[in-house]
Amino acid sequence: MKPYFFPLLTFYVFNLLLHGASAVRVRDASLIIGDWEPVKDVKDSHIREIGQFAVSEHNKETNNKLQFGIVVSGKFQIVSGINYRLNISAIHLSEANMYEVEVFEQEWKKIMKLTSFKQI
């Protein structure tokens, strides 16, 4: 067994258990791309963590002081990691706004990147 295979396998099995078979689809031996699937539990601690991360990264990039509120809705897509697209509420200058954010995560490499942040 190749050294990188085990974390990948664990990752897929984990996602299979967590999100169901439709989320994990093998289209090619080396490439796994899933459809966008709804996030079922927006209160899940990891989903909140993704939302919180998006706000704190955005604050770092812009010097804003948004305060994360809640995740309102979301989708995720399995690529060579997971793309999350979340609608979150956050407070900016005492006003609650809605934002659509995108975060890419590769848990086994400890990678989390904010790829999009826009007010909606």
Ligand X SMILES: *[C@@H]1O[C@H](CO)[C@@H](O)[C@H](O)[C@H]1NC(C)=O
Closer of 15 and 87 to ligand X (Cβ): 87
* Residue given tokens 């439709």 in the structure block: 22
Closer of 77 and 106 to ligand X (Cβ): 77
Q: Which of 44, 49, 57, 100 binds ligand X (CB under 6 A)?
A: 100
Which parts of 46-85 interact with ligand X (CB under 6 A)? 73-75, 85
Q: Is 87 in the site for ligand X (CB under 6 A)?
A: yes
Q: Are 69 and 83 in contact (CB under 8 A)?
A: no
Closest C-alpha among 22, 31, 15 to residue 79: 31
Q: Is 34 in the site for ligand X (CB under 6 A)?
A: no
| The two structure tokens encoding residue 108 | 């086994």
Closer of 46 and 75 to ligand X (Cβ): 75
Distances (CA, A) of 83 to 12, 37, 58, 92, 113: 14, 10, 17, 25, 10
Q: Which residues bind ligand X (CB under 6 A)?
A: 73-75, 85-87, 100, 120
